[in-house]
Amino acid sequence: MPIVNRVADFHGDITAWRHDIHAHPELLYDVNRTAGIVADKLRSFGCDEVVTGIGRTGVVGVIHGNRAGEGGRVIGLRADMDALPIQEANDIPYKSTVPGKMHACGHDGHTAMLLGAARYLAETRNFNGTAVVIFQPAEEGGAGGKAMVQDGLMERFRVEEVYGMHNYPGLPVGQFALRAGPLMAAADRITIDIEGRGGHAARPHVSIDTVLVGAQIINAIQSIVSRNVDPLEAAVVSICVFQAGTTDNVIPQTAQLRGTARSLTPKVRDLLEARLQQVITGTAQLYGATAKLTYRRDYPITRNHERQAAFAASVAAQVAGRERVDDQVAPVMGAEDFSFMLEARPGAFIFVGNGASAGLHHPAYDFNDETIPFGTSYWVKLVESAMPA
């Protein structure tokens, strides 16, 4: 089955919702305006229950099907609401009105598509069970998914399976991609505090130069992936912040490096942490300095459950055609806090094509409104196929 006709009728409304959210981006848990709009719309659609404040600022809507009272299943559908601290470079009518903030990852589109699905499902109720629509804050580094799970999301709403979706730049509009098993990487945070001996830049021989030590540490840790990780495995170590010194004639006493480590298996994750500790400590000692590694395990691996991934692929095929669904897509090293929900309940995460747009987290990125009918129809067909009336 292609695009749901009634969803196609909603396209203009969903696009307008998306543009309004895009113009008013909010960060992390501070999504009060967006969450308020979501809650108001869910109530106006006639959802049976609308709950706010789950995971601080998350919103949950409950929609019972036409036979929900007869012991039907409960399926959760999740969208994220938060934006990024990026200055938008687009010149569009709905450009961000908030300096230094923009929807550079498409969460505006995700929220709008799930709202469209909620409208349809509340109107038709052509399923036997309960659909729980989940609007999550703080995906961009704040672990809002974890906060909602810890706040009792799954137990309170009796969610049995949970599904998520993310747009994918470079994948043509109207196509879907996913895989069973690891789809996205674990993302861990690295902080390295270096202590040397400060002094005059003209007398480096009586100092211990933390800038030099930091540079050597950055070089040395790149050998971990190339020489310690099995070439058939995947890993990334990136140092993205180097802070040291305040003027051009003083060797700084301290320096700090910050970055990320990414992996697709628990074994490689453990290896990265252990080798980073050894290489960082040893490199600093070579130059007479000390270095302390703080390794914070952040988002876990986004791992699709096999049965649910196969089901999600079959639903996407109903919408787009089997030839437009890649169910063996290569894993990506980006991370997702939907991983916390997949640890709590079986489910699957799927990519939907965003066409030839700028990449995620780029100041020229924009969600493609032509994606809306495909993503919204996927949500609708997932519920109706999982819980047929």
Predicted confidence (pLDDT) per residue in 281-292, tens digit? 999 999 999 999
pLDDT at residue 71 greater than cutoff 70: no
Predicted confidence (pLDDT) per residue in 18-44, tens digit? 999 999 999 999 999 999 999 999 999
Q: What is the mean pLDDT of residues 83-104?
A: 98
Q: Which of 78, 67, 62, 50 is nearest to 161 (CA)?
A: 78
CB 176 within 8 A of CB 325: yes
Q: What's the rounded Cα separation, in Å, for the pair 384 and 361?
A: 33
Predicted confidence (pLDDT) per residue in 152-205, tens digit? 999 999 999 999 999 999 999 999 999 999 999 999 999 999 999 999 999 999
CB 204 within 8 A of CB 238: no
Q: What's the rounded Cα separation, in Å, for the pair 135 and 52?
A: 10
Can you give the pLDDT at residue 66? 87
Q: What's the rounded Cα separation, in Å, for the pair 326 and 51?
A: 35
CB 162 within 8 A of CB 302: no
Q: How confident is the model at residue 217 (pLDDT cuts 50, 70, 90)?
A: very high
30 is catalytic: no
CB 376 within 8 A of CB 7: yes
Would strands 325-326 and 176-177 be described as parallel, antiparallel, or unpaired? Answer: parallel
Can you give the pLDDT at residue 68? 55
DSSP state of 169: T
Residue 100 φ then ψ, to 5°: 80, 10
* Amino acid letter for position 93: P
Q: Which domains does the chain have, with CATH numbers?
A: 5-184+301-386 (3.40.630.10), 186-299 (3.30.70.360)
Q: Which of the following is catalytic: 82, 140, 209, 327?
A: 82
DSSP state of 3: S
Q: What is the mean pLDDT of residues 272-299?
A: 98
Q: Which of the following is catalytic: 139, 161, 209, 384?
A: 139
Q: What's the rounded Cα separation, in Å, for the pair 166 and 106?
A: 8
CA 121, 127, 130, 135 torsion-angle sign? negative
Can you give the pLDDT at residue 43? 98
139 is catalytic: yes
| Distances from the Cα of 137 to the Cα of 140, 201, 349, angstroms | 9, 47, 17
> In which order are the strands placed within the sheet that holds 235-244?
235-244, 254-263, 186-195, 290-299
